Amino acid sequence: MAYFTQQLVNGLALGAIYGLIAIGYTMVYGIVGMINFAHGEVFMVGSFIALIGFMICAMAGISSAPVAILLVLLIAMSFSAVYGWAIERTAYRPLRGSFRLAPLISAIGVSIVLQNYVQLVQGARPKPHVSLVSGGFTLFTSDGFDVRVTWIQIMIVMVTVALMAGFTLVISRTALGRQQRACEQDMKMAALLGVDVNRTISLTFVIGAALAAVAGMLFMMYYGVIDFFIGFLAGIKAFTAAVLGGIGSLPGAMLGGLLIGLIEVFWAGYFSSEYKDVAAFSIMILVLIFRPTGLLGKPEIEKV
Amino acid sequence: MSHPLIEVEHLTMRFGGLLAVDDVSFAAWPGQITAVIGPNGAGKTTLYNCITGFYKPTVGRLTLREGDRTWLLERMLGFEIGQKARVARTFQNIRLFGGMTVLENLLVAQHNKLMRASGWSLLGLAGVRGFREAEAAAIELARGWLERIGLVADADRPAGELPYGAQRRLEIARAMCTEPRLLCLDEPAAGLNPRESAELNQLLTSIRDRDGVGVLLIEHDMSVVMSISDRVVVLDYGRKIADGDPAQVRRDPAVIRAYLGAEEGVDA
Amino acid sequence: MGARLPAILKDAGLTAFVAAALGIFIVGFRTIDIGSTRGLSFDYEFVDLAIAVATVFLGRLGLQLAAAGQRLPAIALGVILFVVGVSPLKMPSTFLHWFVALGGVALILRGMWPWAQAAIGSAGASPRGVALKQAGTKWFGWALLGGAVLMPFSPMADQKTMDLGVLILTYVMLGWGLNIVVGLAGLLDLGYVAFYAVGAYAYALLSTQHGMGFWAVLPVAGMIAALFGVLLGFPVLRLRGDYLAIVTMGFGEIIRLVLLNWVDLTNGPAGIGSIPGPTFFGATFTERAPAGGQTFSEMMGIPFSSNHRLIFLYYLILALALVTHLFTQRMRRLPVGRAWEALREDETACQALGINPTNTKLTAFAVGAMFAGFAGCFFAAKQRFISPESFVFIESAIILAIVVLGGMGSQIGVVLASILLIGMPEWFRDLGNYRMLAFGLAMVLIMVYRPRGLVAHREPSVRLHPADPGGGR
pLDDT on residue C371: 96
Best residue in C326, C464, C465 for a mutation probing chain B (most B CBs within 10 Å): C464
Residue C200 shares a structural domain with residue C106: no
Task: For residue B153, tell me if it sits in a domain.
Answer: yes
Residue C33 shares a structural domain with residue C155: no
Residue A243 has pLDDT above 50, yes or no: yes
Determine, for residues B118 and C335 on separate chains, whether the beta-carbon distance falls below 8 Å: yes
- C residues 140..159 contacting A (CB < 8 A): none
Determine the structural domain holding residue C366 and report its residue range.
Answer: 148-449
| pLDDT < 70 positions in chain C | 1-3, 35-38, 123-137, 291-292, 426-433, 467-473
Q: Chains touching chain C at 3 or more Cβ pairs under 8 angstroms?
A: A, B
Confidence band (pLDDT; 50, 70, 90) for B174? very high
pLDDT on residue C429: 60
**Of B179, B204, B232, the domain-final residue:** B179
Residue B31's nearest CA partner among B66, B60, B62 is B66
Q: What is the rounded distance in angstroms from the CA atom of residue A229 to the CA atom of residue A216?
A: 12
Task: For residue C135, tell me if it sits in a domain.
Answer: no
- A residues 262..301 contacting B (CB < 8 A): 301
Residue B241 shares a structural domain with residue B208: yes
Chains B and C form CB pairs within 8 A to the count of 128
Q: Is A223 on the interface with C (CB under 8 A)?
A: no
Residue C169's nearest CA partner among C322, C327, C389 is C322
Residues C168/C418, Cβ–Cβ less than 8 Å: yes
Q: What is the rounded distance in angstroms from the CA atom of residue C298 to the CA atom of residue C102?
A: 53
CB atoms within 10 A of CB C354: 24
Residue B82's nearest CA partner among B110, B114, B57 is B110
Residue A49's nearest CA partner among A23, A78, A22, A25 is A78
Percent of all residues in chain A with a pLDDT value above 90, rounded to a whole number: 36
Q: Is B54 on the interface with A (CB under 8 A)?
A: yes
**Of B118, B145, B179, the domain-final residue:** B179
Residue of higher predicted confidence among B170 and B66: B170
Determine the structural domain holding residue B104 and report its residue range.
Answer: 98-179
Of C327, C336, C461, the CB nearest to B104: C461
Q: What is the rounded distance in angstroms from the CA atom of residue C363 to the CA atom of residue C230?
A: 8
Residue C330 shares a structural domain with residue C386: yes
Q: Is A198 on the interface with C (CB under 8 A)?
A: no
Tell me the pairing of strands B69-72 and B59-66. antiparallel
Residue B71 shares a structural domain with residue B192: yes
Write out pLDDT tens, residues B19-47.
888 888 888 888 889 988 888 878 888 88
Residue C177 shares a structural domain with residue C86: no
Best residue in B48, B64, B95 for a mutation probing chain C (most C CBs within 10 Å): B95
Residue C40 shares a structural domain with residue C153: no
Residue B61 shares a structural domain with residue B126: no
pLDDT on residue B265: 44
- C residues 255..284 contacting A (CB < 8 A): 257-258, 260-261
Determine, for residues A112 and C437 on separate chains, whether the beta-carbon distance falls below 8 Å: yes
DSSP codes of every residue in B104-118: HHHHHTTHHHHHHHT
Residues C469/C134, Cβ–Cβ less than 8 Å: yes
Write out pLDDT tens, residues C433-468.
677 888 888 889 888 888 877 777 778 888 887 765
Partners of C463 on chain B (C-beta within 8 Å) are 101, 103, 155-156
Length of chain A: 304
Contacts of A273 (CB under 8 A, 6+ apart): none
Residue B124's nearest CA partner among C407, A87, C336 is C336
Residue C60 shares a structural domain with residue C182: no
Q: Is C40 on the interface with A (CB under 8 A)?
A: yes
DSSP codes of every residue in A65-105: HHHHHHHHHHHHHHHHHHHHHHHIIIIIGGGTTS-TTHHHH
pLDDT on residue C278: 83
Residue A72 has pLDDT above 90, yes or no: yes
> Residue A138 forms beta bridges with which residues?
A148
pLDDT on residue B96: 92
Residue of higher predicted confidence among A44 and B238: A44
Residue B81 shares a structural domain with residue B195: yes
Partners of B158 on chain C (C-beta within 8 Å) are 458
Determine, for residues A120 and C397 on separate chains, whether the beta-carbon distance falls below 8 Å: no
Q: Is A95 on the interface with C (CB under 8 A)?
A: yes
Partners of A304 on chain B (C-beta within 8 Å) are 45, 49, 54, 91
Length of chain B: 268
Determine, for residues C437 and A116 on separate chains, whether the beta-carbon distance falls below 8 Å: yes
In the three-class reduction of DSSP (H, G, I as helix; E, B as strand; rest coil), residue C428 is classed as coil
Residues B155/C465, Cβ–Cβ less than 8 Å: yes
**Of B164, B179, B194, the domain-final residue:** B179
Local structure of residue C281 (DSSP, 8 states): T
Residue B259 shares a structural domain with residue B218: yes
* C interface residues, B as partner, C-beta within 8 Å: 327, 330-331, 334-336, 338-339, 341-342, 344-346, 348-357, 363, 458, 460-465, 467
Q: What is the rounded distance in angstroms from the CA atom of residue B22 to the CA atom of residue C19?
A: 59
Task: For residue B93, tell me if it sits in a domain.
Answer: no
Task: For residue C460, tell me if it sits in a domain.
Answer: no
Q: Report the chain B residue with the minimal C-alpha distance to residue C467.
A: B156
- Give the ipTM: 0.87
pLDDT on residue A4: 87
**Of C111, C134, C159, the domain-final residue:** C111
Partners of B91 on chain A (C-beta within 8 Å) are 304
Confidence band (pLDDT; 50, 70, 90) for B267? very low
Starting from the edge strand earliest in sequence, which strands make up the sheet with B231-236, in order? B87-89, B182-186, B214-218, B33-37, B231-236, B239-244
Q: Domain of C280: which CATH number?
A: 1.10.3470
Residue B151 shares a structural domain with residue B189: no
Q: Report the chain C residue with the minimal C-alpha distance to residue A98.
A: C451
Q: Is C417 on the interface with A (CB under 8 A)?
A: no
Q: Report the chain B residue with the minimal C-alpha distance to residue A304.
A: B91
C392 — phi, psi (to 5°)?
A: -85, 165
Determine, for residues B88 and C335 on separate chains, whether the beta-carbon distance falls below 8 Å: no
How confident is the prediction for chain B on average, in pLDDT?
Answer: 85
Q: Is A225 on the interface with C (CB under 8 A)?
A: no
Q: Report the chain A residue with the minimal C-alpha distance to residue B16.
A: A299
DSSP codes of every residue in B76-100: S-HHHHHHTS-EEE--SS----TTS
- Strand boundaries in C261-324, DSSP class E: 283-284, 294-295
Q: Is C246 on the interface with A (CB under 8 A)?
A: yes
Task: For residue C123, tell me if it sits in a domain.
Answer: no
Residue B36 shares a structural domain with residue B145: no
Partners of A85 on chain C (C-beta within 8 Å) are 18
Q: What is the rounded distance in angstroms from the CA atom of residue A42 to the CA atom of residue C381?
A: 40
Q: Is B101 on the interface with A (CB under 8 A)?
A: no
- A residues 28..87 contacting C (CB < 8 A): 34-35, 45, 48-49, 51-53, 55-56, 59, 75, 79, 82-83, 85-86
Q: Is C472 on the interface with A (CB under 8 A)?
A: no
Q: Domain of B241: which CATH number?
A: 3.40.50.300
Residue B268 shares a structural domain with residue B184: yes
pLDDT on residue C469: 45
Partners of C332 on chain B (C-beta within 8 Å) are none
Task: For residue C90, tell me if it sits in a domain.
Answer: yes
Residue C41 shares a structural domain with residue C190: no
- Strand boundaries in chain A, DSSP class E: 127-128, 136-142, 145-150, 225-226
Q: What is the rounded distance in angstroms from the CA atom of residue C373 to the CA atom of residue C223?
A: 8
Of A55, A122, A130, the CB nearest to C38: A130
Best residue in B79, B81, B95, B178 for a mutation probing chain C (most C CBs within 10 Å): B79
Confidence band (pLDDT; 50, 70, 90) for B1? low
Task: For residue C436, tell me if it sits in a domain.
Answer: yes
Residue C260 shares a structural domain with residue C346: yes
- If you compute the radius of gyration of chain C from its CA atoms, what whole number of angstroms results? 26
pLDDT on residue C125: 67
Residues C261/A274, Cβ–Cβ less than 8 Å: yes
Confidence band (pLDDT; 50, 70, 90) for B106? very high
Residue B65 shares a structural domain with residue B32: yes
pLDDT on residue C473: 37
Structural domain spans, chain A:
2-290
Residue B264 has pLDDT above 70, yes or no: no
CATH architecture of the region A2-290: Orthogonal Bundle (1.10)
What is the least distance, in Å, from the CA of C406 to any CA of chain A?
14
Of B53, B103, B125, the CB nearest to C330: B125
Residue B20 shares a structural domain with residue B77: yes
Task: For residue C173, tell me if it sits in a domain.
Answer: yes
Residue C157 shares a structural domain with residue C242: yes
Residue B102 has pLDDT above 70, yes or no: yes
Q: What is the rounded distance in angstroms from the CA atom of residue C467 to the CA atom of residue C326?
A: 21
Residue B168 shares a structural domain with residue B116: yes
Number of structural domains found in chain C = 2
* End-to-end C-alpha distance for chain A, whole angstroms: 54
Local structure of residue B155 (DSSP, 8 states): T
Q: What is the rounded distance in angstroms from the CA atom of residue B154 to the CA atom of residue A64?
A: 77
Residue B83 has pLDDT above 70, yes or no: yes
Q: Is C349 on the interface with A (CB under 8 A)?
A: no
Residue A42's nearest CA partner among A120, A115, A121 is A115
CA distances in angstroms from C136 to A270, C123, C132, C142, C385, listed in the order given: 64, 14, 6, 10, 42
Q: What is the rounded distance in angstroms from the CA atom of residue C398 to the CA atom of residue C391?
A: 11
Number of structural domains found in chain B = 2
Residue C91 shares a structural domain with residue C204: no
